[in-house]
Amino acid sequence: MRADFGKVVPLAAVLVLAGCDIEQLTGSARFKEDFHYNYRLKPGGRLSVENLNGSIAVHSWDQDEVEITGTKYASSQALLDALKIDVAATDDFIQIRTVRPSGRRGNMGAKFVIRVPGRVELNRITSSNGSIDVEGIEGGARLRTSNGKIRVADLKGDLEVNTSNGSVTLANTRGSAVIKTSNGSIRTDGVHGHFEAHTSNGSIRAQIFGDGDGRPIEIHTSNGSIDLTLMEQPSADVIVTSSNSMITVHAPASLAAQLKAETTNAPVHTDFEVTIKGSRKKTRLEGTINGGGPLIRLETSNGTIRLLKL
């Protein structure tokens, strides 16, 4: 099934749904056209979006259909007419693509606001030079963009996030979360499950409840601080590394772990009683806490390390 271009909504309605940043997104583009399609999708179905030069918002609602609303833009009417929004739909899979005209150059792209059933797999949501916003989804999600931020809230399912030159924000996610960005910060509030975070030239602040499937929690950055809160006793190793910045880890007073903490030109501090292995040094601390347990390895350079009680 292909998209029906007969359904059009006013631009004002799109901006109310998605925010008023369309002018920032389109830059010098002066030609715009709105689109609006609806397709049935069974609960638990899959959605794929391949966009260029624009944002994507995917939010849940209480209907068994997908509503696709948006605006395409271009720097000329000819480019606008040639730029296509292609939709292939069945009852259990919907694929949306922004198709650039072959051999044509110029400023062009699209912006999407998509409503989906609560139970849906976000099979592949990709864009460039635009943000991705996902909220209220029960199902896995694979999200990728460039030069744009990514926000995910109230997700129940495994999550993969990849961007560059943009921040990543998670709130109340349940499932494995693997986050990769560059030149951007990572912020999480209430991750329930396995967690990995990688960035460069950006800080990381994470709050984790449990660690899910037994894989190590891994948090890495360069030239950025890390503030990690472990709300529960970890059952697997916790590996935290940075450079030229501070590392702070908060953990329950009952924490049982092996500790290896090392920095340069800065102290290591902890609220916990540590049975020290070897000699105590200002920049290095190794030993056991409450009889030992999973490894907590904290490494940085030119930054203080702190392991604090909640």
Indicate the pTM of the whole model.
Answer: 0.88
Q: Is residue 70 part of a domain?
A: yes
Instruction: Kindly give the confidence (pLDDT) of every residue in the chain, 310 residues in length, as a single tens digit, with 9 standing for 90 and above.
Output: 444 433 333 333 333 333 334 444 445 568 999 999 999 999 999 999 999 999 999 999 999 999 999 999 999 999 999 999 999 999 999 999 999 998 777 799 999 999 999 999 999 999 999 999 999 999 999 999 999 999 999 999 999 999 999 999 999 999 999 999 998 999 999 899 999 999 998 999 999 997 667 889 999 998 899 999 999 999 899 999 999 899 999 999 999 999 999 999 899 999 999 999 877 789 999 999 999 999 999 999 989 999 999 9
Among 118, 133, 159, the domain boundary falls at 118
Q: Is residue 139 part of a domain?
A: no
- Inside any domain, residue 187: yes
HEC string for the chain: CCCCCCCCCCHHHHHHHHCCCHHHHHCCCCEEEEEEEEEECCCCEEEEEECCCCCEEEEEECCCEEEEEEEEEECCHHHHHHCEEEEEECCCEEEEEEECCCCCCCCEEEEEEEEEECEEEEEEEECCCCCEEEECCECCEEEECCCCCEEEEEEECCEEEECCCCCEEEEEEECCEEEECCCCCEEEEEEECCEEEECCCCCEEEEEECCCCCCCEEEECCCCCEEEEECCCCCCCEEEECCCCCEEEEECCCCCEEEEEECCCCCEEECCCEEECCCCECCEEEEEECCCCCEEEEECCCCCEEEEEC
Residue 153 covered by a domain: no
Q: For residue 131, is it within any domain?
A: no
Q: How many domains does the chain have?
A: 2
Q: Say if 224 falls within a structural domain.
A: yes
- Residue 151 falls inside a structural domain: no
Within a domain: 123: no
**Same domain as 190, residue 105:** no
118, 134, 154: which is the final residue of a domain? 118
Same domain flag for 110 and 174: no
Supply the range of the domain harboring residue 61: 1-118
Residues 89, 204 within the same domain: no
Last residue of a domain, one of 118, 152, 179: 118
> Residues 181, 291: one domain?
yes
